[in-house]
Amino acid sequence: MRVKVKKIVLITGAGSGMGRASAKLLAESGFKVYATSRDKNKLVNLANSDIVPISLDITDQKSIDNVVAEIVQRDRKIDILINNAGYGVVSSVENFKEEEMLDQFNVNVFGMLRVTKAVIPYMRKENYGVIINISSFLGKIGLPLFTLYNASKYAVEGITDSLRYELSTFNIRVHSILPGFFDTEFARKNLVTNMETFDVNSAYSKLASQLAPKIIEQINNGNDANEVARLILKIINDVKFPARTTVGDKAKKFIPMRKELSDEDFERRVKEYYAI
């Protein structure tokens, strides 16, 4: 009787929210999961026989190389990569600091690329792999004060498109998920606000005071992270799954609307919706 070899999953940003939910569901579904976070304390109580918590800083190439080497040494392969780690800067373009701009892209874009680059050779060797990039519906539509986050997620969409061509010869599938607003720790811990933008004397204070509370409320009352976890499992198991898909109420509302309307009409609808 042949023993079924478990597929090996690497998840970034698994300390909370979608990453944590995905780690649990995939482990329950027969995968061996390496659940990573820059802060290993966030992985407490996650470990079991099929989940291995491990510290990973996606802004540090040495950290990435060490983690990938450790996984390959233990299991000789990495079958599935879920690029989930990310955060959002909330700032006007006029006010953002150079450090905020660079850090936003260093995590959401360059960090994702670093991990992907490190994993590809092992997938290519096995002639198999699934890479799932957790993007955002804001990777297809813009919102004021989210310019840096928007731009980083637009970049994720472009990377996904290009990698699909680049890796298809090696039987490596690449997908992106565009979530709407989800009830995770994102609004509480993963939104970084620029203080100048939110200062009462800022030229953008009125916009910030109108928009930010609505966005935070929608995130805190958003969909359940397990919806994303179930979608990830579905993508892994379906070799014909589309390149990208939306999940969550806001994504399913805005993305189709964006496709149907002109730029000007869509802008008008967004302004009406958020009263800005």
Query: Which residue numbers are catalytic?
Result: 149
Tokens 């150079």 sit on residue? 98
Q: How far is CA 139 from the centre of its chain?
A: 11
Residue 60 has which token pair?
Answer: 């540090």
CB atoms within 10 A of CB 74: 12
Burial 20-30 (b: 16+ CB within 10 A, else e): bbbbbbbbebe
Cα(187)–Cα(200) distance, integer angstroms: 21
Query: Residue 1 burial by CB count (10 A; 0-12/13-18/19+): exposed, middle or buried?
Result: exposed
Tokens 């996606």 sit on residue? 58
- 9 φ/ψ angles, rounded to the nearest 5 degrees: -120, 135
- In sequence order, the β-bridge partners of residue 91 are 146
